[in-house]
Amino acid sequence: MTLCSLREVLDHARAGGYGVGAFNVTDIEQVEAVLDAAAATNSPVIVQTIAGASAFASDELYWDLLLRTVDHYPQIPVVVHLDHGPDFETCKRAVDAGFSSVMIDGSLDPVTHKPTSFEANVEVTKRVVAYARERGVSIEAELGTIGGSKDGATHAEIVLADPEEAKRFVEETGVDALAVAIGTSHGAYKFTSPPDGTVLRMDLIETIAALIPDTHLVMHGSSSLPAHLRAVINAHGGGLPESWGVPDEEKARSTKLGVTKINQGMDSHMAYAAAMRVALAEDPLAADPAPAAKAGRAAMSAIIAERMGIFGQAGHAGDYVGTPVREAAALSLA
């Protein structure tokens, strides 16, 4: 079992009462870090990436290597997911490359980065659903606007998801999963103090889940922003501002309220960057980046394995039953 559909992996999670982490990757070492953590904890997992977010000049080359890496882990169910596809064309490219799931983020205009109308969001989402569904690929969409920076270059204001709109949106589009804005934001700067129920609207998850019980809810911007990692980065030349993320216990609680997919990117990047900065500082003669990247990969794998325990997915690779989108044996690696 290797490449699996998001729908089936999340259906299994819901039936088992656990959540599945969707971990952002921007390089092949990071893909390996996620898959090693999944293999070590026996977890189904979602590997996700944003178009243009890697150091590769070509998404297609990076995506091809990513998919081939997954084939080296035949023992775990893996979803390869496009995170925040800004338009139909980008989602189509990911489907054509072999991804088993795509997110169309029609909540923001790809050019102006301003919130779009409900109707425009529905229209672009329906186009992606029509193309992806026919090819066995799952679809996530977004309603409301999750704040912060998705790609490191743009900043969006938070617009909370409206429960009645969520119901209408799902009826009109038929998406498998819906990212609902509940007050979280992407990136290394989230809350100015530990979040309470007035800024982190967990109550919205419950309300929306009750209205769309067959659609999976996705919590974006879920990184915790560990203070000890920020301290290491800042002690080695970094300048990350003090900020609070989503506490681990709230992420665990979200899986009991209706969330099945939990997006995490920044915590992994912080663990990777902190270990890399330490490795480079400890070896003033370092020129080859590989040893530092190796330290980064190991640190990233460790934090992800820890999160897999918190989200509840650990131990569930063995009981997963689903139809693989593609078997590892196709590449004669199993």
Contacting positions for ligand 13P (CB under 6 A)? 24, 83-84, 186-187, 220-223, 263-266
Structure tokens at 154: 């743009």
Tally DSSP H helices, then E strands, for the chain.
11, 10
- Closer by beta carbon to ligand 13P, 14 or else 220: 220
Residue 116 or 263: which CB sits closer to ligand 13P? Answer: 263
- Minimum distance of ligand 13P from residue 322's CB (angstroms): 23
Written as one letter, the residue type at 228 is H
Rounded Cα distance between 107 and 121, Å, is 6
Pick 68 or 155: Cβ nearer ligand 13P? 155
Least separation in angstroms between residue 320's CB and ligand 13P is 23
How are beta strands 259-264 and 216-219 bridged, if at all?
parallel
By C-beta, is 239 or 284 nearer to ligand 13P? 239
> Which two three-digit tokens encode residue 162?
């409206």
Shortest distance, position 288 Cβ to ligand 13P, whole Å: 29
Tell me if residue 67 falls in helix, strand or coil.
helix
Q: Which of these is catalytic: 36, 83, 105, 176?
A: 83
Known catalytic residue: 83? yes
Task: Output the smallest distance, CB 331 to ligand 13P, in A.
Answer: 28
H/E element, 120: helix 118-134
DSSP per position, 74-86? TTS-EEEEEEEE-
Q: Cβ closer to ligand 13P: 1 or 215?
A: 215
Strands (DSSP E) along 6-165, which ranges?
20-24, 45-49, 78-85, 101-104, 138-143, 147-148
Q: Could you list the beta-strand ranges (E) of the chain.
A: 20-24, 45-49, 78-85, 101-104, 138-143, 147-148, 177-180, 185-186, 216-219, 259-264
Least distance between ligand 13P and beta carbon 27 (Å) = 16
- Please identify every residue annotated as catalytic: 83
